[in-house]
Structure 1
Amino acid sequence: MRLVIIDNHPLIRRGLVSLFSYSGIMEVLGEATNRKEAINLLQTVKPDIAIVDLRLGDESGIELIKEAIDLGIASKFVILTSSTTEEDFRKAKEIGVAGYLLKEALPEELLHAVQMIGKGRKYYDPTVLDLMMKEKNLPDKPSHVEQLTPKEMEILIELGKGHSNKEISKTLYITEFTVKKHVSQVFAKLGLADRTQAALYANAKGLVKYVINS
């Protein structure tokens, strides 16, 4: 997996280079500190994933990603930030970033997140999802989860991973029609309005557990 790191803080860049290089399955192709350097780097090396700081000094990582997408750069973009504000998270999701990670995350979580994103998944930091859930006053009654059948619980966990009905169908070996039926039942039992709320709920409850591949 080929990466580039776009961050204006030298210590952050060095730390990420060491972390990803140590993994043995990721190669850091280059670094950039601002918009101009970043666009040139992205066009030159064409990485699989670009790790982008939300704020590059006086410049915006969001605007940089928008520009890169407009230029036809096909890399997956991952925001790395200390911001847990809903507005920043919303803007990142709106432009289609593949991940939103916090700089406070543990090294193994960052590695895991990048691995997931490299496989075509999206990854949003659980801390951010938890805060979004609280701000939106989503249901928070343990008894609701206990009402789910084992299959509905599996469905909820898959929703927490951001999987589509088709992906859930393949994972659980059931038809998409059956998945759709279970999803509706999960929404009804938990009082959730849509898949986004279900994902927030599942992650905030700690239902989505991952195993880091060595």
Structure 2
Amino acid sequence: MNRRPLSVAATLAVAATLLLAACSSGDKQSDSGKIAGADNGTKVTKSPPASPSDTAAGRPKITLAKDMQNVFEGGTTGDPVKESILHDNAQAVSAMDEAVYTRSLQKPAFGTYLAGDAAKTGALWVQGFYDDGITWTGKVRYYERRITSLKGSVATLTYCSDESKSFNKNLKTGKKSGTVSNPDDYVVFYNTRLKKNMNGVWQTTDLVSDRGASQCQ
């Protein structure tokens, strides 16, 4: 496996919630599911580059290791609302990776861009890296990013990732994981739900992943 996958148990637990959310515009997602203390911490240097809206709103910046690279395709749509959704989703992805790199779930970006079940799922995924004594290195490409529903302050977004150029890395030895034998294991399909909060941030509130999904082949 190139990168440690999202927890299967966690993604199954939120699948029903996400499917219901995609079918209803009247759902209200509570922000009470945020990871305790996730809004605390010290602001850090930027990576990926912050947009002008991040600077204006005073949002926390994100830093990744020099050998971690996320590439997000399709961020320009001509629609400012959709572009904000795509941007904030990318920030949520990088916020989880920042937690892996810094070995801390207390960085402010995590609680800014993730809430509800997505924060719980993300925290479990990050904790797995801590438990296994690993991080990841290389490049992950995110593509086919599509907003499948947008009703008021609630949106659903699907996208794929290509992890063929990323690897787990043992923190003690520096040794990288080998390549996988099945090319299908390189790709992951994500189905997410986002809700715009009072600060104007499109928080990812639900997150389901499917490794090797046909949608990404």
TM range (shorter): under 0.3
Greater RCO (CA < 8 Å, at least 6 residues apart): 2
More strand by proportion, 1 or 2? 2
TM-score by length of structure 2 reads: 0.24
